Structure 1
Amino acid sequence: MKLRSFLARPYASIVHSRVRKGMATAVADQQAILQYLLKNGARTAFGRDHGMESVKTYEEFKAAVPIRDYEAFIPYINKIKEGEANVLWKGRPIYFAKTSGTTSGVKYIPITKESMPNHISGARDALLCYMAESGNTAFADGKMIFLSGSPEMERVGGIPTGRLSGIVNHFIPRYLRGNQLPSYETNCIEDWETKLDKIVNETIGENMTLISGIPPWMQMYFEWLSQRSNGKKIKEIFPKLQVIVHGGVNFEPYRARLMDSLGEQVDMIETFPASEGFFAFQDKIGGEGLLLNTDAGIFYEFIPAAEIHNDNPTRLSLGDVKVGENYALVVSTDAGLWGYSIGDTVRFVSTEPYRLVVTGRIKHFISAFGEHVIGEEVEYAVMNAAKEHDVQITEFTVAPAIQVTDGLPYHEWFIEFETRPADMDAFAKSVNDHMRGKNIYYEDLMTGSILRPLVIRDMKKNTFIDYMRSIGKLGGQNKVPRLSNDRRIADALQPWIQ
């Protein structure tokens, strides 16, 4: 046993014990965090605008601070860019995390001295809990890779600005720097395919023990490795690979294909990171759900998903959530976000402790006919159909087909198959049947002859890679939306239908 893995054992045990103790104090910790945020927020421009100096309770907080998205924060962000201090949080942010917005273009999410540790400790605790649970610390001695954005920063309003994964790259502990791949120079390459080629060159002969990234781009990395190695499986290329860390999208639709690429079983650790905070991580081996990070400078609120677009939705604190309900996630943080709707929906699978799964995006849904289909439902339907028909799916997206020239409207599924079904009609029926069983509104529309069964478009190989390249979003943390309530993506995909 080498020094790194030897020293990791007691550290993992300490962190694992702390995480376990925090499970019992989650609600109390949340109440304390709200008071901490209010005390600091009262001294800011945002706090003065919202009368925060007189806010003492959660009920008063809800009355003073409305739910808002990024667009409503832009006036405050602009003040920070102009050099003002004490706008959303004390002082000025130490970074802006640059991310893509849906209606506002680029978003600049503040990261402060107080909030930065959350982004670091979340990923660290996930790995240390895995070490404590599994007893496996040997991977700490091998090479590790994180498929991330460039660590090079630009300056916006004098503040270092870049992708969150690139920012976090600067905080990798010195004792792990020698284990980190790819090189800094390669990580700084902006073009994804050029960067990926360099990553393959730098890693293919190394003792890789941990690989981390979002599933679609991890799969692309695996394919390039296999092509460079005459079709070898990843575990043949990296025989000591032990751990895959993933997050950013639901892993399940990618699981079968990634497992096939690996060739052998590898332990998986799931995380729930975002530019706004590191919200949850897998704290145990096996079982469903990610442990909510309840004592890290983030106060959580939950809005029943059906009410998210209401003018005055129900707002629940952690102690009031129920297992099985779908909620929109809202956060207030020590980065200066207040009542901020991050755009994700979650469902609790346990409240003792608080574990959840991510079920989709607020803006990624189909409700052209009142069905309100969400990401979790389409992923469930296609995954189960794939198992029944022994097929593998590379990627897919779904959109409504409303203006049809013949017959009833329908949901149009654009699917790129790794292995195609022997009977496409039977596969489509299976997906449709699972949708009917999962979404009662969809079932009613079928029964009432408002919709006809879904239609599958068989897409050419590399459709979604080519599409993402065409819109300048290939690589990094970018991913294809599962659902759209309009035809923008569907229409763009037409040239790739087989």
Structure 2
Amino acid sequence: MDLKSLLARPFAFHIHKTIRKSMQTAVSDQETIFKNLIKVGKTTRFGYDHQMQNIKTHADFIQNVPIRDYEQFKPYIELIKQGKQHVLWKGKPIYFAKTSGTTSGIKYIPITKDSIPNHINTARNALLYYMAESGNFAFAQGKMIFLSGSPELERVGGIPTGRLSGIVNHHVPRYLRTNQMPSFETNCIEDWETKLDKIVEETIHENMTLISGIPPWMQMYFDRLIEKTGKPIAEIFPNFSLMVQGGVNFEPYKQKIYKSIGKEIDCLELFPASEGFFAFQDNPHEPGLLLNTNSGIFFEFVPANEIFNEKPTRLTLADVKVGENYALIISSNAGLWAYNIGDTVKFISTNPYKILVTGRIKHFISAFGEHVIGEEVEYALMKAANEEQIKITEFTVAPNIAQGKGKSFHEWYIEFENEPANLSAFALKVDNYLRSKNVYYDDLISGNILQTLTIKPLQKNAFIDYMRSIGKLGSQNKVPRLSNDRVIADALEKYTK
């Protein structure tokens, strides 16, 4: 065991003990965070506008501070860009995290001196907790890929601005710099495919022990390595023992990724976003992410079917129930107040508080009143695929609304690694599993309003080619699994077999 692994041991056990303790104090920690946020918030422009000096309870907060998305926050962001201080939080942000919104164009999410530890320390704590829980300290002595967007920052309103992953890159602890891959110069390459080739070149002969990224990126990386060497990843990197992933559900990618590696290894899921680092997997062998309840973020939970109501129910951590689907609302020491991040979650435990990310509020199909969500389509497809030993590369689903005669239906665009021998029978099996998960969809099928779903197989690399065609091929971009329109579906038509 090298020096880094030895030094990590006592720190890992300390963090493990601290997190285990915080599991028991989650509700009281949230109450403390709420009070601290209001104490600072009432000194800001936002606090003045929303009479925060009168807020004593969560009920007062609901009364004074409505749920907002980025568009409704934008006027405050514009004031910060103009150089104003104490707008959303004390002083000015130390960074803007630049991210793309589906309706808002580019979004500038503030990161403050008080909120940056949430991003940095949570990632560190997730790895240290894993070390203590698993006993795997060895990966600390090898090379690790922490793929990021370009760490080069521009200035917006005098504030350093860039992708969150690029910002975080500047805060990698010095003791990990010698382990970090790829090089700073490679991370600065904008063109994704050029960057990927350079990453392969830099890492192929290294002792890679940890690889992190979103699953479709990791698969592309593994594919390039296998093309170059003709070997599975476990032979190229024999000490590779931990994958760290997030951003999309790992399950649809799992079989193919493990096949590429040549064996199963530990996989740790994270739930970070520009708005905050919300949760991490505390046990790689159990489902669910431990909610980050003591890191400057106050959480509210809105029943997903109420999120578009004028006055939806807003629950605190103490009120949530296992198995219900909630829209995640946050207030934080970055100066975000009752901010709708756009994700839905479901609790699988309240002792400790552990969640599954079930989808995006805007990524659903309800063209016919069925309100099918990401968790349901992924369950249906993967259950059928596992039974039939079918491997899925990628997929997306859209409504096909009948024009004239015939019934409407859900149309699934799937890139198979191995296509079912009987595509119609496979589609019917997926349809039946979807009906078992969504009563509204089942009613529409049994009521003869919708016909059963259809599947259109796509050519190899169809999704990569599509993302390339719209200029979004890269480590931070992913194809929505569900759309309530046919923009993506119509674009994929030219890639059908």
**TM-score computed with the length of structure 1 as normaliser:** 0.99
Q: Aligned residue for 1:456? A: 455
**Once the two structures are superposed, what CA deviation does each residue of 1:162-182 show, in whole Å capped at 9, x if it has no partner?**
111111111111011001110
**Which stretches in structure 1 are left out of the alignment for 5+ residues?**
none
CA distance in 2, matches of 1:50, 1:325: 31
Q: Could you give the per-residue CA deviations for residues 363-387 of structure 1, whole angstroms, max 9, x where no partner exists?
A: 0000011000000000001101110
**Structure 2: gaps of 5 or more residues:** none
8 Å CA contact 1:133, 1:285 repeated in 2? no
Q: CA deviation at 1:403?
A: 3.1
The superposition leaves residues 107-148 of structure 1 with CA deviations (integer Å, 9 ceiling, x where unpaired) of: 100000000000011111111111001111010000000222
Residue number in structure 2 paired with 1:317? 316
Question: Could you list the per-position Cα deviations for residues 189-230 of structure 1 after superposition, in whole angstroms to 9, with x for gaps in the alignment?
Answer: 011000000000000010000000000111111101110112
C-alpha separation between the residues in 1 aligned to 2:418 and 2:162?
38
The code of the aligned residue for 2:440 comes to Y
Q: Distance in 2 between matches of 1:120 and 1:357?
A: 22
1:35-114 alignment, distance < 5 Å:
35-114=35-114
Corresponding residue of 1:145: 145
Letter in 2 for 1:246: Q
- Equivalent residue number for residue 333 of structure 2: 334
Q: Is the CA contact (8 Å cut-off) linking 1:41 and 1:47 kept in structure 2? A: yes
Task: Give 3-state SS (helix, strand or coil) of 1:429's partner.
Answer: helix
Aligned to 2:483: 484
User: 2:179 aligned with 1:166, yes or no?
Assistant: no
Q: Is the 8 A contact 1:147 1:218 kept in 2?
A: no
Q: Following the alignment from structure 1 to structure 2, what is the Cα–Cα distance between the partners of residues 394 and 410?
A: 23
- DSSP 3-state at the match of 2:368: coil
Q: How far does residue 285 in structure 1 lie from its aligned partner after superposition? A: 3.5
Deviation at 1:406, TM superposition (A): 4.4
Q: Does 1:358 align with 2:357?
A: yes
Shift of 1:185: 0.2
- What is the CA RMSD across the aligned residues, in angstroms? 0.8
Measure, in 1, the Cα distance between the counterparts of 2:171 and 2:378: 35
Contact 1:272 1:280 in 2 (8 A): yes
Equivalenced residue count is 497
What is the alpha-carbon distance in structure 2 between the residues aligned to residue 457 and residue 241 of structure 1? 36
d(CA) in 2 for partners of 1:79, 1:470: 36
Cα separation, 2, equivalents of 1:285 and 1:189: 32
Query: Which string of whole-angstrom CA distances, capped at 9 and with x for unpartnered residues, describes residues 344-369 of structure 1?
Result: 00000000010000000000000011
Identify the residue that residue 376 of structure 1 maps to in structure 2: 375
User: How far apart are residue 429 of structure 1 and its match?
Assistant: 1.0
Give the drift of 1:287.
1.7
Alignment of 1:62-461 (within 5 A): 62-230=62-230, 232-404=231-403, 406-461=405-460
Q: Give the letter for the 2:222 counterpart.
A: F
Q: Secondary structure at the match of 2:479?
A: coil
- Which residue identity does 1:348 align to in structure 2? F
How far is 1:404 from its partner?
Answer: 3.8
TM-score by length of 2: 0.99
* Alignment correspondent of 1:13: 13
Kept in 2: contact 1:395–1:415 (CA 8 A): yes
Residue by residue over 1:286-308, the C-alpha shift from the partner in whole angstroms, topping out at 9 and shown as x without a partner, is 22210000000000000000001
How far 1:53 moved relative to its partner? 1.2
Alignment of 1:467-478 (within 5 A): 467-478=466-477
SS at match of 1:419: coil
The question of whether the paired residues in 2 share the 8 Å contact of 1:463 and 1:496 is answered with yes
Contact kept? 1:381, 1:431, Cα under 8 Å? yes
Residue 3 (structure 1) shift: 0.3
Q: Give the whole-Å Cα distance in 1 for the aligned partners of 2:323 and 2:91.
A: 40
Mapped to 1, the partners of 2:260 and 2:43 lie a distance apart of 53
* Contact 1:378-1:435 at 8 Å conserved across structures: yes
**SS, match of residue 417 in structure 2:** strand
Contact 1:24 1:353 in 2 (8 A): yes
Residue identity in the other structure for 1:347: K
The AA in structure 1 aligned to 2:460 is K
Identity %: 67
**Distance in 1 between residues matched to 2:261 and 2:291, nearest whole Å:** 29
Structure 1 Cα separation of the partners of residues 40 and 51 of structure 2? 13
